[in-house]
Structure 1
Amino acid sequence: MGAFLNKPETKKYNESGEGNGLRYGVASMQGWRVEMEDAHHAQLTLNGTLSDWSYFAVFDGHAGARVSAHCAENLLECILQTDEFRREAIADAIRAGFLDLDKKMRELPELSNGEEKSGSTAVCAFVSPKQIYIANCGDSRAVLARNGAPIFATQDHKPELPTEKSRIVQAGGSVMIQRVNGSLAVSRALGDYEYKKVMDRGPCEQLVSPEPEVFVHERCEAEDEFLVLACDGVWDVMSNEALCAYIHSLLRLTDDLTTVTNQVIDTCLYKGSKDNMSIVLVVFPSAPKPDPEAIRADRELDETLRQRLTALIQKSADSEEREDTSCHFSLVLKQLLQENIPGLPPGGGLAAKQALLDKIYREFYPEHADSSDTFDCQAELAEAFQTN
């Protein structure tokens, strides 16, 4: 499978916290990739006079984890140390901090010898009492939700975008198969110094630029529900609208943000994501609260799914289809997809319930107790989830 494992690594890293009127949850998973290259940073309160400010960031490394890890440790400080930040020109400070970090990293011995080829996308947010400052560089994405729908999303920096392609071409490069010089799938990133060697051009005019786009939003306490920062392993299989609707529905079932974020990346895995996955969920006071009616409806849905899956398993138990035991689970789930089952989680669909369905299936076939059996035909099943 090339750069992929035979079975996904589903062990998760979790983190959560509460302060400054915010709650946040983090979940990350290596998934199918042979290495975990994501990193993140979550800090509820900044030092000194910024105690009522919070900072969150996700970094998606490629060709190694060194740059993403270094960015997670140092980007915040680079931003805070800029002259622009001292002048309270926050948007300019964020931009300057990104450029300063990229310049400093280039001088690190492990990166300057030419052997280290890694880079990292970045998406970060500063949440102050009145504003939200959001910056992205690459294809990690931030989405702000109100009423269960996105009201703002960053745009992924892809080489085929006209402005990005123009810069690449002017720097002497090309865009082939939607990649910089046919190789790199993002047009802005930290690190990636082999794409930043054009001597007569500035740092933001290279084949790959470290410059972020920075956005400022006024907070609306009556409407702001949550902010999502996530790498492309999530967005590859979830649209902005689907993910916001899904998280909104999950928050009506539980206030445990570890449970919510774990559920999101599990669902993305079932939907077919082949990448590392990391998500930071920042929840504002107006986010949905657990609702007894929603919880009751979810339990009724689980029971309906149990009854329907049990009927399908029993129907196919003695058929010729049962001979292929490795894909039997996939077969019955695809049959279940053909049924009109009301009340499935918005944005998540049946994939959001695959863990439950897998558990029910194992009750009938305990010989499949190894959870890796679930993924024997996962690619086929993920395609069914996507087209349903």
Structure 2
Amino acid sequence: MGAFLDKPKMEKQNAHGEGNDLRYGLSSMQGWRVEMEDAHTAVIGLPRGLRPWSFFAVYDGHAGSQVARYSCEHLLEHITSNPDFQGSAEPQVQPDGAGDEAKEMENPSVDQVKLGIRTGFLQIDEHMRQISENRKGSGSTDRSGSTAVCVMLSPQHIFFINCGDSRGLLSRGGTVHFFTHDHKPSNPLEKERIQNAGGSVMIQRVNGSLAVSRALGDFDYKCVHGKGPTEQLVSPEPDVCAIERSEAEDEFIVLACDGIWDVMANEELCDFVRSRLEVTDDLERICNEVVDTCLYKGSRDNMSVVLVCLSGGPKVSAEAVKREQELDKYLESRVEEILKQNGEEGVPDMVHVMRTLASENIPNLPPGGELASKRSVVEAVYNKLNPFRNEDTESLTPLSWRQGKGKSS
């Protein structure tokens, strides 16, 4: 659910960085939502001697942004500081005179890392509950919640962490090698837990209201007496999966909220990102293209995406760059032709131009993104040739919405 604006907010928050033999970029956009409730984390070099490790996460808040914001600032600390996680490795013995900053972890136990991650989630959830309880006296009750999809990379493993319906995936050897599974109330095991806690699943929502069955926060759904934290209507327990790294084949990791996955399937997004990596090594630009493409495909939610590129990822190709340039020139010329053909009837709006192009067989459109990913190219030419156009919110709306095919919530 949620309220929507009359026009999407398309300003983006970006960041990028590199280290530990990886590069990352990210993009977040408010879109059509009245409030921006997403948050993200990107850390290369973890505390407590885990300098070769990295951590990335996307948090998709609902009913407010408080839990998402707090989690993005504190979840990693709760994971790495708890005894279960710290017990996953023994400090490496350093030469005489080496300071504490030189200590690094050696031979981490995968099982203990997974346990430490789970403990960190349960700890931060309980901590936020206490904060919420303490605020009740002042009349300030936080009813917000947040999904969390994270990836923790060690030199040997990739740990995928998921709580809710945001999603992460790994592209390896040109295909989707792994993806996290969404926690939806209609999933049999999730539904069983909800019903055992005295709840119900109606219209695919917990008690007919909440669309996710696992999340941080959402404490109104975590107050069943006699049930532990992982047995409540909504559970804060993440799924954690450890995957051995393959230096030669691991291409990239994508973490994104459901505002992205609502309109792009795993393979579509993978194919689109791979095609963009052959055109540019600017990861912020690629993330921005993902977000814009999803907006034009019909997403009405906040959108956040983190792209982590690994050593086996695609490289910029001169041939791919040439094809991209030729495609852009072709689209520019077609827009000019469409506008000229309709000159006597008045200048057609962007909807007409996009519908016309959509009906044609245009070669070399980016896979997964298709014509929606070239909306900005089309719009730039349209605006140049029609500088006195009337700003029209309708022209920003994907065709599918007015054809009754889009999502309404």
TM-score (norm 2): 0.89
Counterpart pick for 2:114 among 84, 87, 91: 91
Does the Cα contact within 8 Å between 1:63 and 1:119 map onto a contact in 2? yes
SS in 2 for 1:367: coil
Does the Cα contact within 8 Å between 2:281 and 2:316 map onto a contact in 1? yes
Does the Cα contact within 8 Å between 2:163 and 2:237 map onto a contact in 1? yes
SS in 2 for 1:246: helix
Residue of structure 2 equivalent to 1:359: 380
After TM superposition, list the pairs within 5 Å mapping 1:159-238 onto structure 2: 159-238=185-264
TM-superposed CA distance for 1:130, in Å, is: 0.8
Q: Deviations over 1:131-175 (max 9, x none)?
A: 001110000100100234211000110101111111111111111
Q: Deviations over 1:270-323 (max 9, x none)?
A: 11110001111100011111111100000001111112222122112223xx48
Residue of structure 1 equivalent to 2:36: 36
Greater Cα offset, 309-318 or 49-58: 309-318
TM-superposed CA distance for 1:83, in Å, is: 1.5
Write the distance in 1 (CA, Å) between the matches of 2:134 and 2:183.
23
- Is 1:145 the counterpart of 2:157? The answer is no
Write the distance in 2 (CA, Å) between the matches of 1:111 and 1:64.
18
- Is 1:343 the counterpart of 2:364? The answer is yes
After TM superposition, list the pairs within 5 Å mapping 1:289-308 onto structure 2: 289-308=315-334
After TM superposition, list the pairs within 5 Å mapping 1:273-288 onto structure 2: 273-288=299-314
| Residue 2 to residue 255, structure 1, CA distance change in 2 (3 Å) | closer
TM-superposed CA distance for 1:374, in Å, is: 6.2
| Residue 111 to residue 3, structure 1, CA distance change in 2 (3 Å) | farther
Write the distance in 1 (CA, Å) between the matches of 2:265 and 2:78.
32
| Residue 176 to residue 7, structure 1, CA distance change in 2 (3 Å) | same
Counterpart pick for 1:102 among 125, 128, 133: 125
Residue of structure 2 equivalent to 1:243: 269
Write the distance in 2 (CA, Å) between the matches of 1:260 and 1:140.
19
Q: Deviations over 1:242-270 (max 9, x none)?
A: 00000000000111111111111011111
Structure 2: gaps spanning 5 or more residues: 89-111
Does the Cα contact within 8 Å between 1:142 and 1:154 map onto a contact in 2? yes
SS in 2 for 1:107: helix
Paired amino acid for 1:376 = S
Residue of structure 1 equivalent to 2:95: none
Does the Cα contact within 8 Å between 1:123 and 1:136 map onto a contact in 2? yes
Does the Cα contact within 8 Å between 1:5 and 1:33 map onto a contact in 2? yes
Structure 1: gaps spanning 5 or more residues: none
| Residue 148 to residue 313, structure 1, CA distance change in 2 (3 Å) | farther
Counterpart pick for 1:257 among 272, 283, 287: 283
TM-superposed CA distance for 1:48, in Å, is: 3.5
Does the Cα contact within 8 Å between 1:45 and 1:54 map onto a contact in 2? yes
Q: Deviations over 1:313-337 (max 9, x none)?
A: 2112223xx48x6xx2111211111
Instruction: Give the RMSD, CA atoms, in angstroms.
Output: 1.9
- Is 1:117 the counterpart of 2:164? The answer is no
| Residue 16 to residue 110, structure 1, CA distance change in 2 (3 Å) | farther
Paired amino acid for 2:184 = K
| Residue 110 to residue 316, structure 1, CA distance change in 2 (3 Å) | farther
| Residue 156 to residue 7, structure 1, CA distance change in 2 (3 Å) | same
Paired amino acid for 1:64 = G
TM-superposed CA distance for 1:97, in Å, is: 0.5
Residue of structure 1 equivalent to 2:96: none
Residue of structure 1 equivalent to 2:162: 136
Taking every aligned residue pair, what percent have the same amino acid on both sides?
Answer: 52
Paired amino acid for 2:377 = L
Q: Deviations over 1:27-51 (max 9, x none)?
A: 0000000110001110011124200
Paired amino acid for 1:363 = K
Q: Which protein is richer in helix relative to its size?
A: 1
TM-superposed CA distance for 1:383, in Å, is: 7.1
Residue of structure 1 equivalent to 2:78: 78
TM-superposed CA distance for 1:377, in Å, is: 5.2
Does the Cα contact within 8 Å between 1:53 and 1:129 map onto a contact in 2? yes
Does the Cα contact within 8 Å between 1:137 and 1:211 map onto a contact in 2? yes
Does the Cα contact within 8 Å between 1:301 and 1:343 map onto a contact in 2? yes
Does the Cα contact within 8 Å between 1:362 and 1:369 map onto a contact in 2? no
The runs of at least 4 aligned residues of structure 1 exceeding 4 Å deviation read 109-112, 381-384
Residue of structure 2 equivalent to 1:314: 340
Write the distance in 2 (CA, Å) between the matches of 1:204 and 1:255.
42
Counterpart pick for 2:353 among 332, 341, 365: 332
SS in 2 for 1:123: strand
| Residue 82 to residue 300, structure 1, CA distance change in 2 (3 Å) | same
| Residue 148 to residue 368, structure 1, CA distance change in 2 (3 Å) | farther
